[in-house]
Amino acid sequence: VANATAFEKQGWRVIWLQKEFKKARHDAVPVRRKRGAKATKHLDSFFEEIKNDPRDVLLSYEGFLGSSSMETGQIYPHHQAAIKVLKENFPGRHIQIGFCIRNFADQAESSYNSRVSRGKKERSFAKYAKKISARKVSWMKIIEHLSDAFGQENLVLWTYEDFKKDGVGAFAKI
């Protein structure tokens, strides 16, 4: 998003879902279930607009896969619904996914902070972290589902550490 102008000069349409979904601020997945007809109509009209845009679309929003919920034993429990939204709304379009894998400690902290910022009354981070099983929580299910849906050749992965060192290089892989 910080480089939207550069992408747009190369013919891309850049969409930052967090900004563009002001009326449906939550992830595209829960919006369909929780926010009712008004948000669903907004979401459908948004996708209808970009479906007909001939440009390549860079859809940027970390939360598109859903909320992180590590204490449930899965990082993004609703990620399959997000995959379905992409496949349904971009039929016949080539979809490439750039996906950043965070280390366990960073993801646990982010998951905790996300819950607190959404108004969930949380115990201390130490108590929250004790409920998370490092053996159960893995990126593998998400990576497998993304790969199955869009093809392994269309899934570009990088680590958060690599991104912090060279964000431009990480995005250049897409």
Return the closest-CA partner of residue 67 out of 36, 111, 33. Answer: 111
Biggest distance spanned by C-alpha atoms of the chain: 49
Question: Is the pLDDT assigned to residue 28 strictly greater than 80?
Answer: no
pLDDT of 127-142, one tens digit each? 888 888 777 778 888 8
Which two structure tokens, joined as six digits, stand for 162?
Answer: 């690599």
Which two structure tokens, joined as six digits, stand for 95?
Answer: 């979809």
Q: Do residues 76 and 70 make contact, with C-beta atoms less than 8 angstroms apart?
A: no
Question: Is the pLDDT assigned to residue 3 strictly greater than 70?
Answer: yes
Question: Is the pLDDT assigned to residue 20 strictly greater than 70?
Answer: no
Residue 157: strand pairing partners: 99
CA distance 29 to 42: 13
Of 9-13, 27-31, 56-60, least confident by mean pLDDT is: 27-31
Q: How large is the average pLDDT for residues 153-173?
A: 82
pLDDT of 43-101, one tens digit each? 666 677 777 778 887 776 666 676 677 777 777 777 888 788 788 877 788 888 888 88
Determine how many CB atoms are found less than 10 A away from the CB of residue 146.
Answer: 23
Q: How large is the average pLDDT for residues 35-45?
A: 53
Tell me which range, 23-32, 146-155, 164-173, is most confidently predicted by mean pLDDT. Answer: 146-155
Is 7 in a helix, a strand, or coil? helix
pLDDT-based confidence at residue 18 (cuts at 50, 70, 90): low
Which two structure tokens, joined as six digits, stand for 45?
Answer: 């009209």
pLDDT of residue 39: 46
pLDDT of residue 17: 64
pLDDT-based confidence at residue 32 (cuts at 50, 70, 90): very low
pLDDT-based confidence at residue 122 (cuts at 50, 70, 90): low
